[in-house]
Structure 1
Amino acid sequence: MDPAARSALAADIDAAARLKGSFKLRSGQVSDEYFDKYRFEADPRLLARVAAAMAPLVPAGAQVLAGLELGGVPIATAMSLATGTPAAFVRKKAKDYGTCLAVEGGSVAGLKVVMIEDVITTGGAVRDAARLLAEAGAEVIGVVCAIWRGEGPPRIEGLDLPVWPALTRDDLNAARGG
């Protein structure tokens, strides 16, 4: 993605998702700012732009785009529609009714799978999903995310897979002048 398009996408995501107010964080702390990633995923035009920015990051030979519950699912679906690559959906844990599967949308056994995630900071959910995909017989070949918010270069501790972000925390900060 060219620098101007990258900057514009970061600015639009930041404008849609960064909220001001009083928010209780997962840590229990209260913040006057909150980044609501579902805001950019729920906007069809912005979601299409995010998917278009992520699609070229998918390595050649990938056979399935595996969206991680919950935020990776709409992005994987949009990418699948745009590229024609089949999608699968990875739950946080197997459901205990119906198919009782953790990976939905068809078998991934023996297929090269790229995990699709919205925002990654530490990668805990990605590690868990990689395990579930491996248990389903997939060959996981990498991770493509909309935003890397972690420290340093994109990598997930304990997971020897490449991580390709469309945007980083620095892109979002630059978009709002910080």
Structure 2
Amino acid sequence: MEKWELAKEIYNTSRLTGTFKLRSGQVSNQYFDKYLFESNPALLVEIAKQLKELIPPETEVLAGLEMGGIPVATALSLQTGIPVVFVRKEVKKYGTCKLAEGVNITEKNVCVVEDVITTGGQILLSTKDLRELGAKVHHVLGVIERTKEGRENLLEDGLQLHSLFTMDELIEGEKEHAKG
């Protein structure tokens, strides 16, 4: 599948209109319901096939952020063979009581995986936690980059964002191909 075709599929599958409050507190008149593309096996496989090309070569572990980054990171792991950890927003008080579930990340080059990036707030919080656990984190993979603000916030923390699509690319790509 060509990249523009994938953009069109994500757009048609996931775009909702109305009034939506984002995690950042911002209000948007359109929303990309990430769970609609993440729960579609064929679409998720195609996203992983294209997103894997953006994985930095030094990556030793993929870190899927709770909750939306986990299916994307798992699909990428299946495509590449790179181990994955699942990063909680907070430690549970039962079971293993770990923040990062999965393989050991100490002294490993970890690439954070997220589905949609707006301000990068949760990525920054999770990256801080991963670094405190001994991970070397310098890169973030994302499916959709909603705003430039997220990229700028990540750069300030030494994180390079590699996104498959910007929101503008999804919207403009759909408009262009709708013209036929």
Tell me the TM-score normalized by structure 1.
Answer: 0.89
Question: Structure 2 CA distance, aligned partners of 1:55 and 1:74?
Answer: 14
Is 2:54 the counterpart of 1:54?
no
* 2:81 corresponds to which of 76, 79, 84: 84
Q: For 1:70 and 1:77, locate their aligned partners in 2 and report how far apart those are by CA, in whole Å.
A: 12
What is the 5 A alignment of 1:19-98?
A: 19-20=16-17, 22=18, 24-26=20-22, 27=25, 31=29, 33-98=30-95
Task: Give the corresponding residue for 1:120.
Answer: 117
Pair 1:111-2:108 in alignment = yes
| Alignment counterpart, residue 165 of structure 1, candidates 157, 163, 166 | 163
SS at match of 1:156: helix
**Cα deviations across residues 50-106 of structure 1 (Å, max 9, x unaligned)?**
111111111112100000110100000000001000000111111111111111112
Instruction: Confirm or deny: 8 A CA contact 2:61 2:105 kept in the other structure.
Output: yes
Backbone CA RMSD of aligned residues: 2.1
Q: Is the 8 A contact 1:114 1:141 kept in 2?
A: yes
Cα distance, 1:163 vs structure 2: 0.5
Matches of 1:172 and 1:29, distance apart in 2: 19
On the 8 A contact 1:68/1:89 being kept in 2, the answer is: yes
Consecutive unaligned residues in structure 2, runs of 5 or more: none
1:177, distance to aligned residue in structure 2 (A): 1.4
Distance 1:125 1:29 in 2: 18
State the TM-score, normalizing by the size of structure 2.
Answer: 0.88
Pairwise CA distance, 1:159: 1.4
Gap change, CA 1:140 and 1:127, over 3 Å in 2: same
More helix by share: 2
The count of aligned residue pairs is 173
CA contact (8 A) 1:155 1:163 kept: no
Distance 1:25 1:75, change over 3 A: same
Q: Which runs of 5+ in 1 are unaligned?
A: none
